[in-house]
Amino acid sequence: MDKLLIEGGVRLSGETAISGAKNAALPILCAALLTREPVTFTNVPQLNDIGTLLKLLAQMGVKVSRGSGSDAGTVTLDASALDNPVAPYEMVKTMRASILVLGPLVARCGEAKVSLPGGCAIGARPVDQHIKGLQAMGAQVTVEHGYVHAVVPRLKGARLFTDMVTVTGTENLMMAACLADGETVIENAAREPEVVDLANCLVAMGARISGAGTDVIRIRGVEQLSGTTHRIMPDRIETGTYLCAAAASGGEIRLTRTSTAYLDSVIDKLMDAGCEVISERDAIRLKAPARLTSVSIRTSPYPAFPTDMQAQFMAINAVANGTAIIRETIFENRFMHAVELQRLGADIRIDGNMAVVQGVSQLQGATVMATDLRASASLVIAGLVAEGETVIERIYHLDRGYERLEEKLAALGARVRRLA
């Protein structure tokens, strides 16, 4: 299993480009299931999660063509011969987002059999809201032998209300509603920018959607959708992660092919921590002070502070001046990085969904273990500022969500090497 060796103590400086958003690409690729015509996507990141999804789509009968070289980010999907609306356990166990095929498959084929997902070990993460929504739209849904089985001749538009804000739940139901008979209203909808990117793609395919980006989304079903070309939005979490790495290291960097547009809550906190952040057209510059000031955060659905940036902020607070309180309100088990950060010398106390981080002046390199995707990112940040060598084990988690991580960090001057 690959490991990452980081020699800490370098102030990051220079420029690197941000990739397309994993969390936008995953639902948007699934949207191709809704049409018989080919759909082309650009700026698709080359990540293990994307590879897993493309394999899953291929075994359903979708023709997958992927560009190479400078076109590696272009993917064309042709679901005209879709004949097997099944997502088997072996293919979906590593990725919770595979549940995103459920809505489009039921809408297009009238039936779907999708394994209950695996993915990051950050809590129970049920899919009851996805199922409840499809049932309200007329589907017969059973959960048997670890599979969700949904059947319906044609979904019917309905008024849907989710018990909590769910991102993939909103996306699944929005896709399903595109081909339903009549109007669907999703209340308490997720407002994440990735939901908006998906809605934009669906509208380009002929869907009739309004309100994406607000908490009430209206979808008027149509008979069929058509092909289109869609560019995936920049990854705001990857952007935030590199900003945090530069901030913790006291560095100065420029990130291209991204923007501050969807990062207000994160940028605000970085500025509170003492960083200077300059927004350019399609780029962001950050200049960090020699030592950051602690910043408290509380995770919440968009536009509030994202749970996917919580671990990275724990790492920067570990070396900041002062004490920070971190409250995690989305997932019940998302502090697994804390014990690993403690191995590097961080002073962190966990109390339920709250972490108290007392900044220390220096972390020390050690061997640590990545436990989930964003937890791994926090260990990379900590390793970059720790004294000496840090070895991060189980970096397959990082490969799920960060494209060419070592290459990009090296472009910023970091001393990082992958050990096979």
Q: Which is nearer to ligand UD1, 2 or 332 (CB)?
A: 332
Q: Is 117 annotated as a binding residue?
A: no
Closest CB to ligand UD1 among 120 and 253? 120
| Residue 128 Cβ vs ligand UD1, minimum distance, rounded to whole Å | 5
- Measure the CA–CA gap between 134 and 241, rounded to whole angstroms: 35
Pair of tokens at residue 64: 């997958």
Q: Does 127 bind ligand UD1 (CB under 6 A)?
A: yes
Tokens of residue 231, six digits:
């560019």
126 a known binding residue? yes
Distance CA 253, CA 251 (A): 7
Q: In this complex, which beta carbon is closest to ligand UD1, that of residue 80 or of residue 161?
A: 161
Does residue 2 contact residue 420 with C-beta atoms inside 8 Å?
yes
- Which residue from 8, 39, 96, 399 is in contact with ligand UD1, where contact means CB under 6 A? 96
Q: What's the number of CA atoms in the CB half-sphere (13 Å) around residue 86?
A: 8
Catalytic residue, candidates 30, 109, 120, 244 = 120
Query: Is residue 87 within 8 Å of 101, Cβ to Cβ?
Result: yes
Which 175-194 residues touch ligand UD1, going by CB under 6 A? Answer: 194
Closest approach of ligand UD1 to the CB of residue 129, in Å: 3
Taking CB under 6 A as the criterion, the residue among 242, 262, 331, 402 binding ligand UD1 is 331
Q: How many CB atoms lie within 10 A of CB 172?
A: 27
Q: Does 263 bind ligand UD1 (CB under 6 A)?
A: no
Alpha helices in 60-186 (DSSP H): 89-92, 102-109, 128-136, 167-178
Stretch of 160-168, 179-187, 351-359, 402-410 lying at the interface with ligand UD1 (CB under 6 A): 160-168
Q: Which residue, 271, 276, 313, 275, is CA-closest to 296? A: 313
Tell me how far, at minimum, the Cβ of 195 lies from ligand UD1, in Å: 9
Cβ-based neighbour number of residue 129 at 10 Å: 21
Query: Is 305 within 8 Å of 262 (Cβ atoms)?
Result: no
Given 197, 235, 238, 308, the residue binding ligand UD1 (CB under 6 A): 308
Q: Any binding-site annotation on 308?
A: yes
Q: Does 45 bind ligand UD1 (CB under 6 A)?
A: no
CB of 163 closer than 8 Å to CB of 136 = no
Annotated binding-site residue? 317: no
Assess 128 for contact with ligand UD1 (CB under 6 A).
Answer: yes
Cα-flanking dihedrals φ and ψ of residue 405, to 5°?
Answer: -55, -50
128 is in an annotated binding site: yes
Peptide bond before residue 303 is cis, with ω within 30 degrees of 0: yes
Select the span of 5-13, 77-85, 165-173, 382-390 touching ligand UD1 (CB under 6 A): 165-173
Among 113, 130, 236, 397, binds ligand UD1 (CB under 6 A): 130
DSSP-assigned letter for residue 294: P
d(Cα 52, Cα 117) in Å, to the nearest integer? 13
- Nearer Cβ to ligand UD1 (148/248): 148
> Among 13, 17, 119, which Cα is nearest to 73's?
17
30 is catalytic: no
Indicate the annotated binding residues for phosphoenolpyruvate.
Answer: 22-23
Binding interface with ligand UD1 (CB under 6 A): 23, 26, 96-97, 123-130, 164, 166-169, 194, 307-308, 330-331
Q: Would you please indicate which residues are annotated as catalytic (active-site) residues? A: 120
Indicate the annotated binding residues for UDP-N-acetyl-alpha-D-glucosamine.
Answer: 96, 125-129, 308, 330
